[in-house]
Structure 1
């Protein structure tokens, strides 16, 4: 194939092995691994690309060699045999439920490439010598998928397809598959999956019956509309958990479906027809081509409904003794402290870990994901050295309660990743965040030191700033991809049974804040956050954009909201925690009224009452 950019995105790479994936012929002796191909598979799998093998070889030695290279687990549906490749690829694409136009076949033999295209006319083919030109395209394809969630879904599909071949009767296979569906309805149940909903609606085609694309604000508004019945569909069977695979929106006044969308990974299980029947066969105007034709009579009897409280994907809840409150840890900026009195109106025990003034009287934010990783990954001596050398860190910079037992729910605001630039120590490569939307190494040290002195910061002298500019290089803000990697790391550090509720950022312009480009940065990072939450286990999105929408909703910058919005955020969080644990939280209207009243008092009096 020519190395020009294709019209359709590449979702699947099909590799030949001999003189393509590696150098040499396996059946004739040893082969030489190509490090660039190994790395390409690893990197693109982490962006959701799927890799498979169609190679003329004996299966066992090929698998053994790929296992030696530590790469076997990143391939699915491998077809290693001495059969013609064209028919194999056609069958492979059918089983993987992918179109040939979204696949790329790499093979050094032109006869194999020609045969593959004869059986699959839309298939992209290329000689391995073209790979250097194709690599940028492949690396830019897909979306960040650091948890390899897409690969896991194809492994599940592979298990299902392997089992299907053991049955002569497809209906018998479906009955033995033990297909179970869970429906979740209502804003409290659906809002935590907002990012996944937006992705399915706007990217799915094969099983998108309505094809009504939406923006995130439109979706949020519709989810809160009482005249519309929104729901999500989750599926699992004896082969595994497919996760959230479907969405519907029923206009109840008109009994008309406005959204009916499914992931193609549940194709041929009957989920679409079952959902349509579950909703009572409402009016549905199918738009465009779809892979399944629905009817108004059938309800597949091999599918059963599973109660939400017992669902496979519902996160495990730590059982708390009768009368014992769930313990919630708030980690983020000190403005989150305004959540606490409203949260305490619910049956929750709230602890806080916010920014504070260090021994140099500098307000320090220690919630940046890079600093969280440093608390566990940097040697203690390095932590102490940098804490002593950099006054904007301070001696408590690497202290956190995150790694201690004792909380049941984590609420985390990652807005410092949105805000702070990074500085890299030239001698060691250690990186630290500081400031907001500025490069302190590019400013005149004397003028900058004078401004810090006016704020009574200690240690930020002209001499220190000169030394800092020599020893550290400004890198700019963390990339969305690294941000997602760090969130995945955080998910792995926090016990799996503890849910993490992550706060998004507002997306508005704040005149006079002095933070140029803040809204655009928030838009970029919110997208990365939504992608992470959509693929991560036991993580949920708290989206402030539903009620922080104009400059009048914030104070001095787009991270500080007016107090009434913290009450709304606390209520949204309490509802989400209740949905997570399978029952609503107890609530005291009197405590809520007291919190609202205290919020109207001057700051000094609020502080006294809060002691």
Structure 2
């Protein structure tokens, strides 16, 4: 931006004395050209405001200036105020004045501002600092005119920023279909600075940048959530002006990209969004103009849905007090989207402790926590590297009236179950899951040589390998593998559901009966079919429990990425179906019982159940 003096700089003569001797048309044209390059102009002049305004309006140039400061006060403080109002870094601003006293004063008040005399003007357009970016529509100038109007209205509230923002009608909408706006996302990552908190730049080559970002948002789809941020208020629609990419793997929860256009500076959007997505780890890189990590409370932003169906979802979810999430990475993904509409989320998902995966998405572990471990069982799990406190069913105790439990049981279909040797009947009294990070084999039935070889391929030192192997040997000496049966699983689930508070509701995710194996082939998981059948039988005729079939979110086998993990778009569809299930229970609290969805064929969606009734309200991710 350029801040112009007028007398003997922009024009010849002193307006308040002998008047203007020469209105320099070349300078007039320079200001127009700068605006068409996206470079703003302001005024800091010692003159009469109305007199200057009349002249520049007659010349049809007045509207090309933003935040003009025209009065008889000292220029140093006024230039500093202009810089604060336009919300730009001082180093990106030039002050031009013929008077060396004014130049010196501004230099003292604003040491980082670039300062030139009147002779620089004729060279300005050829200076590379003023190359700018083509903007013949004057969109950037119009954005600053909006900022100017907002500043004026803020003064009318006594400069109370919070009061002004509450009156501004700020609405934020999160667009999760990043692929459809990939070029804008690339632009935000590579071109924003002052509100780019991560500064993880993409390649400068445009096509390479698009390819790299597509890779980032499709790799680890179960762990990465992304969104484009749309903002509007009473002053206008700012369009897509923010982007984030968040990665969550167990307790690893970090922002990879978090960047915004300066057009929403001062609106609190970055604070609001950071809180909404759960305050993940954010390393702020370089100089920025805001700090989302502070405790700023933003109560002036409303969340908008992208279509009517999503608004219906938000209305239904607002009637739920707390949502208790108990599961794995599938519900980590669902929980991310729920944070935008839920009043409160209490999440209890998979974690890693000393290389043991603590699988929250297991009915076996939930049941152990429900009935409680005996002293002998506590000693056993401790020897296997587990804290006995990991075995709990706290969500059943905490969920009360108008609360919802989201339950995923995927681990029971993918991780082997073990029971004490000699107890592998249809109803063993004690069973547990055990999974060591990086090892995807049955720890009992697989040969010791194969297990040790797999451990050597995990990035462990010798001491850690020995410690994990000691646990495996302990397990192999006392436990045997157990094949889950429908009667066994239904009995355990019936026991868990019987402990639900009568005013609480539950949505159970039916696990996938397909997965992609290590060779990349799609295979059928027979254990999953047993779990699915048991769940469907157990929830039948229960008013306060619904099932959502993860298979109905899968368009085809290509949606399986690895194991039972699916694409980000499929997880978004899962979120929509979960909310549809909650919506149905909220709207039909005392109404009919809807039967669980019938078993789908490979690629078909369920033809019956609540989801079919609410299908018309759901806009699927495309």
Q: With the length of structure 1 as denominator, give the TM-score of the two structures.
A: 0.46
Q: From the CA coordinates, give the structure whose radius of gyration is larger.
A: 2
The structure showing larger relative contact order (alpha-carbon pairs under 8 Å, at least 6 residues apart) is: 1
Q: If the length of structure 2 is used for normalisation, what is the TM-score? A: 0.45
